[in-house]
Amino acid sequence: MKPISKSERTVVNVENAAFRPCINQDGSDSGTSILQLNTDHADCVGFYLYKMAPGTTTEAHEHVGHEEFYIIEGDLTDNDGVAYRQGDMVLLKSGTQHNSTTKNGCLIAVFAPDGERSV
């Protein structure tokens, strides 16, 4: 087996990583940011880390495929009042429509192979 070359491996330490800000459809700052290593995918498609600043609410969206996420730290509440906390692993099925808010901020590991669309 041959060694993995530098061009075939990307390693980023989350503590020092530069998260990229996400912008709302109207061009305003969303209060959210992502860390996504696979640049073959569009933003927020595939696997990525998602960070929400305290007091942030996401734009309403619909999942094109299933979305799975894990709350690494912080709090998250969906528009229907369901609250998630650190350690929760969640599956939202394709077609799910929602928006989420966080009181204290959060860091989430997300797998969304098909992305989302605005509603």
Domain residues for 94? 17-73+84-118
pLDDT at residue number 28:
86
In this predicted structure, the answer to whether residue 24 has a pLDDT above a threshold of 90 is: no
Asked if the structure places residue 8 within a domain, the reply is: no
For the stretch 27-41, pLDDT in tens is: 888 999 999 999 898
- Written as one letter, the residue type at 11 is V
Asked if the structure places residue 78 within a domain, the reply is: no
In this predicted structure, the answer to whether residue 114 has a pLDDT above a threshold of 90 is: no
CATH of the domain at 89: 2.60.120.10
Asked if the structure places residue 6 within a domain, the reply is: no
Count of domains forming the chain: 1
Alpha carbon distance 92, 112 (integer Å): 10
For the stretch 51-110, pLDDT in tens is: 999 999 999 999 899 999 999 999 999 999 999 999 999 999 999 999 999 999 999 999
